[in-house]
């Protein structure tokens, strides 16, 4: 069996077996962008550039295992086995809510994906506000979903998390520049912003489709709208309704002020 070396913090360590190397990647001790070398060719490349490692990370696990009798399953165990894997919602909800909330729902979507990973994997991440303020948390979320063993044992990931992130980031920068060009034309700016908002959520769809395909095979049900769902709507629409109500009151009172 091939032996592997890996580089971390400027230090070369090894040799270790391929299985041990894979375990380090799954435990987040090594990232996909860390450099490793196979003893047989001694070429140092990133983890993601070794097809045999990526194939092993995505290797499905046979799910056809005889289930124990129901009497041996506690209620707690049954509830865990039937829980959704990551944030399982229909695609139309992601699209519609992103549009209705002016993109705020996307932030909630990222939070829900992060929260599942942090809680289920029992990782000692920093607080959500500090984590979510780091733009590269999006890269980490995409990559962790792409290589997640729990997901890949059911369906192999069909997207590249790193490529998806950089495309999403570059599109966002281009969208920001394009929107800034129409600062003096509010109508055009609103149309451009709305169009870009719809296009931006497109980059989340491959990830959501993958999560949905796994949960569908597991027989799970869509997550019902929670407090975060309605909070996103409230943050956007309550101020708009207040402004609209004030304008209505002013228009109603205007004739009486004119008479006076």
Q: Are residues 114 and 13 in the same domain?
A: no
pLDDT for res 69? 41
Residue 76 has pLDDT above 50, yes or no: no
- In terms of C-beta density within 10 A (0-12 exposed, 13-18 middle, 19 or more buried), how is residue 177 classed? exposed
Find tokens 């550039």 and name the residue.
Answer: 49
Domain membership of residue 164 (yes or no) is yes
pLDDT for res 187? 75
Domain membership of residue 102 (yes or no) is yes
pLDDT for res 258? 58
Taking CA 195 as the corner, what is the angle to CA 190 and CA 200, rounded to the nearest 5 degrees?
A: 120
pLDDT for res 212? 95
Q: Are 128 and 111 in contact (CB under 8 A)?
A: yes
pLDDT for res 131? 56
* Residues 218-229, mean pLDDT to the nearest whole number: 91
36 vs 8, 132, 140, CA distance in Å?
A: 9, 29, 19
pLDDT band, residue 122 (cuts 50/70/90): low
Domain membership of residue 43 (yes or no) is yes
The pTM of the full predicted model, rounded to 2 decimals, is 0.67
DSSP alpha helices (H): ranges in the chain?
18-26, 51-57, 75-81, 91-100, 104-120, 128-132, 136-147, 149-152, 161-180, 186-200, 205-217, 227-259
Q: Are residues 13 and 128 in the same domain?
A: no
Q: Are residues 101 and 147 in the same domain?
A: yes
Domain membership of residue 165 (yes or no) is yes
Domain membership of residue 37 (yes or no) is yes
Number of domains in the chain: 2
Residue 75 has pLDDT above 70, yes or no: no
- Domain containing 45 — which CATH number? 3.30.1490.40
Domain coverage including residue 108: 85-224
Residue 246 has pLDDT above 70, yes or no: yes
Domain membership of residue 185 (yes or no) is yes
């Amino acid at each position: 069996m091939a032996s592997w070396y890996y580089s971390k913090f400027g230090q070369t360590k090894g040799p270790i077996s391929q299985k041990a190397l894979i375990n380090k990647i799954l435990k987040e001790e090594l990232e996909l962008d860390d450099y490793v070398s196979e003893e047989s060719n001694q070429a140092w490349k990133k983890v993601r550039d070794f097809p045999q490692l990526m194939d092993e990370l995505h290797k499905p696990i046979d799910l056809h295992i005889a289930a124990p009798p129901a009497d041996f399953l506690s209620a707690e165990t049954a509830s865990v086995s039937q829980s959704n894997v990551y944030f399982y919602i229909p695609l139309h909800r992601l699209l519609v809510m992103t549009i209705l909330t002016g993109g705020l729902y996307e932030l909630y979507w990222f939070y829900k994906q992060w929260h599942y990973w942090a809680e289920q994997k029992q990782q000692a991440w920093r607080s959500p506000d500090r984590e979510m303020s780091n733009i590269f948390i999006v890269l980490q979320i995409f990559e962790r979903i792409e290589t997640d063993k729990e997901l890949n044992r059911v369906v192999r990931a069909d997207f590249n998390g790193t490529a998806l992130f950089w495309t999403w980031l570059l599109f966002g920068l281009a969208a920001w520049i394009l929107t800034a060009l129409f600062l003096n034309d509010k109508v055009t700016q609103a149309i451009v912003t709305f169009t870009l908002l719809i296009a931006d959520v497109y980059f989340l769809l491959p990830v959501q489709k993958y999560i949905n395909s796994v949960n569908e095979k597991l027989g799970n049900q869509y997550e019902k709208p929670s407090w975060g769902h309605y909070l996103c709507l409230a943050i956007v629409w309550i101020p708009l309704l207040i402004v609209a109500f004030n304008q209505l009151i002013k228009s109603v009172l205007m004739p009486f002020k004119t008479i006076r």
